Structure 1
C-alpha cells in the first residue's frame, strides 16, 4: 500500500515541477518583453528629446532680434514733403549712426557704418514720415534692426577670435558695435517680425506672415471640400450602400488612396488643376484642393469607424419607434459618432498641414514678399517656407528654419490636443 502511494506521488511531483518551470519561463519571457518595450519607449523619447533640443538650441535666437536705438534728425534737405515717399532716408539714418560712432569719418566710413543697419531700417523711417509728415525737420528716436552679420555677432554666432579676413565684419566694425552696446543703444527684444513680416532675402527681415496666411487659406479650402464630401461618402458607404462588388471595390480603393505617397497627389494636381483646369500656380486654393484629395480618404475611414462604433441597439430602437432610415442616421447615429468624426478630421488636417511635396509640385515654394489676401493669390505655406529657408546660404536663415519648424510643431501639437479634447469631451460609453 505504501509503495503504491509513493509510486503515485512521483509523477505528481514531476508534473508540479514542470508546471513551476513553465510558469517561471513565462514570467521570464514577460519580463524580457516588458524590458524590450520600455527600452523602445526610452529610445523613442530620447530621439524626440534630441530632436526638440536641437531645434530649440538652434532656433531660439530667431525669436529675438538685435536692434539699435538712434536719435534721427529728419533733414529737410534730404527729405521733403513734396517728394514723399521718396527721399534720402538711408542717408539720414547713416548720419544718425555716424554721430554715435567714436572716431568715424562721415565721408570715408559712411559705407562701412551703413552696413550695420538693416536694409529695412530706411523703410521703417519712410513709413513713419509718410504717416506723419510734420516730423520733417525734427529729431525722432527710432529703434531699427541691424543687419544679419551684426545680429549674428551679437548672438555669439560669429567668433570674434576668427581672423578678420574670414569674418563678415571687420575689426573696426566690431569696435563700433561694441561702442554702441556700451552706450546702451543695442537691445534684443522679442522678434515680432518673425510673425508679422513676409519673406525677405534679408534674414533679419524675413518672417512667416505669408506662410501662415497661405497655410490658413489652404487648410480652409481643404476643410471646406474634404469635410462635407468625406462625411457624405462615409455615411452612404456605411449606412445606405448595398453590400456588393461595387461597394467592396470602392472601399478597397479608398483604403489604398489613404496609403498613396503625397508626391503622387502633387503630380495629379500639377496635371489636372494647373495644366488642365488652368488654375493659378502657387495659389493656396490649388494647394487646398490638393490637400483635400489627400485628406478625404482619412476622413472617410475615420467617419466609417466612428459610425461602426455606435451600438446597433441605437438603430434598432429608433427603427422600432417608427423612425425612417434617414431619421435614424442623421438624428441618432451621426450625433453620437460626431466626436470620432471630428477627431479624425482634425488629425487629417494636421497631417495635411505638414505636407511639403505636393505643395512644391504646384509651385508654392516661390519667393513671395507679401501675404496673400485671397486664396487665389500667390503664396507659400509653412512647410514650403521651411524648405526655402533651409536652402538659403545666409547664416541667419539657419536659426529661422529651426524657429519655423518649432512654430509648425506647435500648430500640430495644438491640433492634436484639440482632437484629444473633443474625443474625451463628447465621447459616450455604452
Structure 2
C-alpha cells in the first residue's frame, strides 16, 4: 500500500540537490574566509618585517661608519724651547703639564701643509682638520717618555669629525664629500694630506673604550658599557635570590587566603607599571630618604632591581607551576619533607624556566632609560666608575644624550651605539631561548 504522505521522487531529488548546493556554498564561503584570514595574516607579517628591515637598514647605514676612525699622522718636533724652556722637568715634573702643546701641533700642521704658522686665521682653519684632543695626545707622549723632548717623531692624531666624514665619503666617491663642515680650502688641505699618505683609517677601538666627550671623534661607549654591566651585576645579586625565594614561598608554602591573593595581584600589577614610576620611587626613597648618591651605580642598580623583581617572580612561579604535582607526591611518598621535595626535586626541574625568566628580566633592565633619567644617570661621565658610589651612566642613556646633540658626527655614533645595544639584547634573548629548549622537560 503506497504512503500518500511521502513526497514524489522528483521533489525529494530537488530538495537534496538544493541542500547540497547550500552546503557547497557554505563550504566555499568558509574556505574563502579562511583564505582571506591567512592572506591578511601574511600581509601583516610582511608589513611588520618590512618596517623592521627599514629600521634595521637605517640604523646600520647610519652607524657602521662609526666603527672606523680616520687618523692623521704628522712628524712632530718636540721643541724644548716651547715645552720646557727653563729646564725644570727634573725638579718639577708637573711643568710638562703646563706646556703649550697646541703651539707644537700648529708648527707640525704648518710644516706638513706648507703654511705660515704666524698667520693665525689660516692656522685656525687648518687646525680644524685635527681633533681638539690632539694637544692632550702630545702631552701624553711627553709624559710617558720625556726623552722625546728635542726630537722629531711621527705622531698619530684623531681627525676631526668633519674631516673624518669627508674622508669616509671620499673612499666611496673617489673625492672629498661635501656637506661635512669643511670649506673649500680645508678640503684642499685634506687632499694634500691624503696625497702625502698621512691620512689613514682603522678600526675605531676608542668607540668601545672611551667615555663621554663633547667631540664626536673622541666619544665612546666604554664608560656607559661599564655602568650597564655594574648595574646588571647588582640586579643579578639582588633581584635573582629575592625574586626566586619570593616565588617559591608564594607557590609552594604560602597559604591560600586573601592576603596572599592580594600580594599576587599586586605583583602582577607591578609587572605592568610604567618604568618611569620606578624611577620616581628610586628618586624619592633611595636618593631622597636613604641618601644614596645621585647618578651612582648603586642607585641605578637598586632601581633596576625593583623593575626586574616582578618579572622574575612571575617567571619563577610559572616554572614551578609547570612541574607536575606527581613529582611532589612521589618525593613526599618516600619520606621527603615538603622543603626537601621542593628544593631537591621541584626546583632543579624548574631551573631552566627560572634562568630564562631572569635573563629576560635583565634584558629588560638593560634597555631601560626612563627610570635612569630621573635618578641622574644622564650626567656627563667621562671616567670609569671605581666603586658603586661613583657617578656612571648606562648605554641606553648614552644613546639618549647623543641623540640630542646637534653635531653631525654624533648621528653615526648614536646609531652605532644602538647596534651594540641590540646585539646585547638579541644575545640575551637567544641565550634564554636556547636554555629553555635545551633543558625543558616534556611531561
8 Å CA contact 2:166, 2:178 repeated in 1? no
SS in 2 for 1:368: coil
Output one character per residue of 1:158-179: Cα deviation in whole Å (capped at 9) or x when no partner: 98666xxxx7433222211111
Choose which of 186, 200, 205 in structure 1 pairs with 2:199: 186
- Count of aligned positions: 425
**C-alpha distance in structure 2 between counterparts of 1:295 and 1:160, whole Å:** 47
Q: In the alignment, what sits opposite 2:313? A: 300
Q: In the alignment, what sits opposite 2:251? A: 238
Choose which of 91, 96, 100 in structure 1 pairs with 2:112: 100
Q: In the alignment, what sits opposite 2:98? A: 86
Q: In the alignment, what sits opposite 1:262? A: 275
Deviates more, 1:329-338 or 1:6-15: 6-15
Choose which of 44, 61, 68 in structure 2 pairs with 1:40: 44
TM-score w.r.t. the length of structure 1 is: 0.94
Output one character per residue of 1:103-129: Cα deviation in whole Å (capped at 9) or x when no partner: x11211333222221121222222222
**C-alpha distance in structure 2 between counterparts of 1:161 and 1:222, whole Å:** 47
Structure 1 position 16 matched with structure 2 position 23: no
1:15 shift after superposition:
3.1
**1:408 and 1:160, CA in 2 relative to 1: closer, same or farther beyond 3 A?**
closer
**C-alpha distance in structure 2 between counterparts of 1:403 and 1:160, whole Å:** 21
SS in 2 for 1:126: helix
TM-score w.r.t. the length of structure 2 is: 0.92
**C-alpha distance in structure 1 between counterparts of 2:106 and 2:159, whole Å:** 12
Q: In the alignment, what sits opposite 2:344? A: 331
Deviates more, 1:238-247 or 1:133-142: 133-142
**1:12 and 1:356, CA in 2 relative to 1: closer, same or farther beyond 3 A?**
same
1:371 shift after superposition:
1.5
Q: In the alignment, what sits opposite 1:216? A: 229
1:139 shift after superposition:
2.2
Deviates more, 1:216-225 or 1:112-121: 112-121
1:341 shift after superposition:
0.8
**C-alpha distance in structure 2 between counterparts of 1:347 and 1:3, whole Å:** 70
8 Å CA contact 2:65, 2:412 repeated in 1? yes
1:7 shift after superposition:
4.5
Q: In the alignment, what sits opposite 2:209? A: 196
Output one character per residue of 1:255-290: Cα deviation in whole Å (capped at 9) or x when no partner: 000000011111111100111111100012111111
Deviates more, 1:151-160 or 1:180-189: 151-160
SS in 2 for 1:78: helix
SS in 1 for 2:442: coil
Tell me how large the CA RMSD over aligned residues is: 1.9
